[in-house]
A and B are shown apart, each in its own frame.
Chain A
Amino acid sequence: MAIAKVCGIETEYGIHVTGLDLDPVTASSLIVSAYKDSNWGTTNFDLSSENPSSDARGVNLDDYLDPTIDSKMLNTVLGNGARYYVDHAHPEYSSPECRTIRDAVLYDVAGEHIVRESMNKANGRLPDGVDISLFKNNSDGKCNSYGCHENYLVSREIPFSQLAAMITSHFVSRQIFCGAGKVGRESPTGSTDPRGYQISQRSDFFEEVIGLETTMKRPIVNTRDEPHCDALKYRRLHVIAGDANMSQYATFLKLGTTALILSMIEDGCFPENLFIAHPVHAIKQISLDPSLSTTVLLADGRRINALGIQQMLCEKASEYISSHESIGLTHQEAQSIIDEWSSTLGALQRNPDLLQTKIDWIAKRRLVNGFQSRHNLDSGDPKLKAIDLMYHAIDEHKCLANKMSLLKLVSLEDSHAATHIPPKDTRAYFRGLVVEKWPDHIVNANWDSIVFDADNGPLRKVEMNEPLRGTQELVGPIIEQCASVSELLARLGSNSDSTGTV
């Protein structure tokens, strides 16, 4: 039986500095630390002696960077239950665990607000002429890629090889509605071609069908087995084969369709014989053909285009939700996903430009093609690549996606509130609330545990192995009623001196 599709998104933001030759780790540290003053709940970074603020060319950043910051360890948990840190030379925001797709979209948008506020604060501290810009994209056009990963809770009962074989068909073909669009081509091995336009930011970078790597030889299905919860019951499917979306609608479809298909796999309802013969080749073929006519070879010898694969999946998902009671999501949300999925596939078939306010690669293509025609530019003109990059700018005034009146699924009021209020119906609620209420008494917080210092004895670790516990319903009144951490730990019923469970 399908289990609850608890999910979330982690995004590495592109970072660009002008006016100073600053290494990206230090620049990312400036961004994340700038959020500290007014918003930081708790940190677990080391206060040791590294000095990232000294620049050999004579600019001393000590006036702008908190001297206690250790770039490598900059890592924090926010009051909304998210993790915000420096990872692989990028600022990264990992949303809290969400119980609905709508919430996962909401907390992804909240992440945009958080990095935007960080950027504005960091720039306010920097000298005139120095500026840091952030981008919600996945490629620099020079063979360097950085990820937007999705995570879904799945049952440990399904053999991973089976799950991987099935979900691959979706990961290869879903880009037709969740690709973010890219000017030019590039390869992981270093060759680039600035000409042309393709559907996905990421497809150029996949070299394997399945594997553990995430920074090289990237696989379409990542095998990282790090559930951050009860490993006997659950897996966390860590998805690296996706683009960061500016369109909330595309994020909704990306997460919603994937969650439904995972539930179908858990319930043995994945369509028969829908296996792509050469997935690594196919993911690139599909990305490189915005006409959507390219067909790919299935394992049984048939040829089919990405739309055909998606139509089969959508039809099967529609049957699935009407014939099953427990489908990992609410039926209301599942029906909404099916309705939008189906209508999007129909529009892609009739006239993709009708989706210019919903689908990123189509919105961006309108801008790129329109600008190219208006100024009679050659394919490969750097201005077209600049449009590609600026589509993803976090600066609201420069962001070209903002100009496209993209459909909003969550209100600004809600998404701003979500920067500091956690989801109510997952363990993120417990994490967010205690971090907000007792920041000075938390030694360390992680996805599945929190270590408290109650000032009156040994450190106490509270484990959170169940993603659907620690909710407002279960712990809200307790947290509200407790005046101190000691009281909280007593009320949680710690069953030994050192551990408790939420």
Chain B
Amino acid sequence: MSERVFKPVAKKQKQEVSEVPEEVQTSPNQEIVDDIDSILDQIDEVLETNADEFVKSYVQKGGQ
């Protein structure tokens, strides 16, 4: 494999598929699930207080 033209600038954990151990490539990765749980914890804080109203009012004039 040749040298990459780009290099990930801030290498995050588990981001390279090639670095994921073979055994977790075919089964759910517990670490990924844990990560998602911590992110889901933050979604309530990020979502608009009235998600229904936000979704309803997000109307765009058409574009290209």
Contact = CB atoms under 8 A, between A and B. Distances in A.
Q: Do A and B bind each other?
A: yes
Interface of A: 12, 14-16, 18, 24-25, 87-90, 100-102, 105, 139-142, 144-147, 149, 214-216, 240, 252, 330-333, 335-336, 339, 343-344, 346-347, 350-351, 353-358, 366-367, 370-371, 374, 382-383, 385-387, 389-390, 397-398, 400, 403-405, 407-412
Given A215-B64, A367-B36, A383 B51 contact: yes
Contacts, number: 158
Contacts of B10: 408
A501 to B, nearest CB: 31
Given A88-B63, A386-B47, A386-B48, A332 B57 contact: no
A186 to B, nearest CB: 12
A250 to B, nearest CB: 13
Contacts of B58: 14, 16, 140-141, 389
Contacts of B26: 350-351
Given A140-B59, A351-B25, A386-B55, A400 B20 contact: no
Given A12-B64, A16-B57, A89-B63, A357 B15 contact: yes
11 contacts: A88-B62, A89-B61, A89-B63, A101-B5, A214-B64, A351-B26, A354-B20, A354-B25, A371-B40, A408-B10, A409-B8
Given A350-B26, A387-B43, A398-B46, A144 B6 contact: no
A139 B29 CA distance: 32
Contacts of B63: 12, 87-90, 144-147, 215
Interface of B: 1-6, 8-10, 12, 14-15, 17-18, 20, 25-29, 32, 35-37, 39-40, 42-43, 46-48, 51-52, 54-64
Contacts of B9: 408-412
Nearest to A411: B9
Q: Chain B contact residues: over half helix, strand or loop, or mixed?
A: loop
B43 A367 contact: yes
A354 B37 contact: no
A145 B64 CA distance: 7
Given A347-B17, A358-B15, A403 B42 contact: yes
Contacts of A390: 46-48
A264 B2 CA distance: 21
A383 B5 contact: no
Nearest to B17: A347
B61 A215 contact: no
Best-buried of B5, B40, B62 by chain A (most CB within 10 Å): B5
A382 B12 contact: no
B64 A88 contact: yes
A386 B51 contact: yes
B50 to A, nearest CB: 9
Nearest to A355: B17
A87 B27 CA distance: 46
Contact of B12 (A101, A331, A407): A407
B12 A403 contact: no
B40 A367 contact: yes
Contacts of B39: 367, 370, 403-404
A384 to B, nearest CB: 9
A408 B8 contact: yes
Contacts of A216: 62
A252 B9 CA distance: 14
Contacts of A144: 59-63
Nearest to B47: A386
A146 B9 CA distance: 31
Given A90-B60, A367-B39, A404-B39, A102 B5 contact: yes
Contact of B2 (A14, A252, A339): A339
A414 to B, nearest CB: 8
